[in-house]
Amino acid sequence: MVLEPDIIIAFKRGDGTAFEQVYKTYFKRLAYFANKLIGDPEQAEDITTESLLKLWDRRHQFDNPSHIKSWLYITVRNACINFMQETVRHSRSHQEISYLSTHEEEDIDRHRIDAELINEIHHQLQFLPAQCAQVFELIYFRGKSTVETANLLQTSTKNVLNQKLKAIKLLKAQLLKRGLFLFL
């Protein structure tokens, strides 16, 4: 999802509704990105929220969505590095901070691309038949097994497998139409 120019203008003026739109647009993907870097979902969400609040404080500096997006990813990455450094000071091994500090740019870019792709998949789920979307969500985003999913949905494992395959097929088609490639 891309922010429209009128949202950027309103955001820059201090419109709270525009900030909500910016928040909704970036929160999930930034939290995913942060979690991939630090491995702590709650802290990743805190870092993401703090980064978005910093953006709000500096909103007058941004004129277009690409600058906002770049600034947010850099800010989240830096906050993750700071978090890991602080964690090391308080007891964790130096290996964790060393790993994050020496992360190759490709790894960070890969996590960023993953976050964007996950966001797009979440968006595309709304266009799938309800049961396909539900099965996909449970298996791929919540880590449920086929049997657990069948029990939760009170259906057969065969039906879950069929719905999963149908969801994958439909998502691939949608993502290919949008110029994205995905190995599911």
pLDDT, one tens digit per residue, over 61-76 is: 988 888 999 999 999 9
Residue spans of alpha helices (H) in the chain: 5-13, 16-38, 41-57, 65-90, 94-101, 105-125, 130-136, 146-153, 157-177
Residue 184: predicted pLDDT = 44
Residue 85 shares a structural domain with residue 138: no
Residue 100: predicted pLDDT = 62
Residue 130 shares a structural domain with residue 95: no
Rounded to two decimals, the pTM is 0.57
**How many domains would you assign to the chain?**
2
- The kind and range of the H/E element at 181 are none
Which range among 33-37, 85-89, 132-136, 169-173 shows the weakest confidence by mean pLDDT?
A: 85-89
Assign residue 131 the CATH number of its domain. 1.10.10.10
Domain holding 31, by residue range, is 1-104
DSSP, collapsed to helix, strand or coil, labels residue 81 as helix
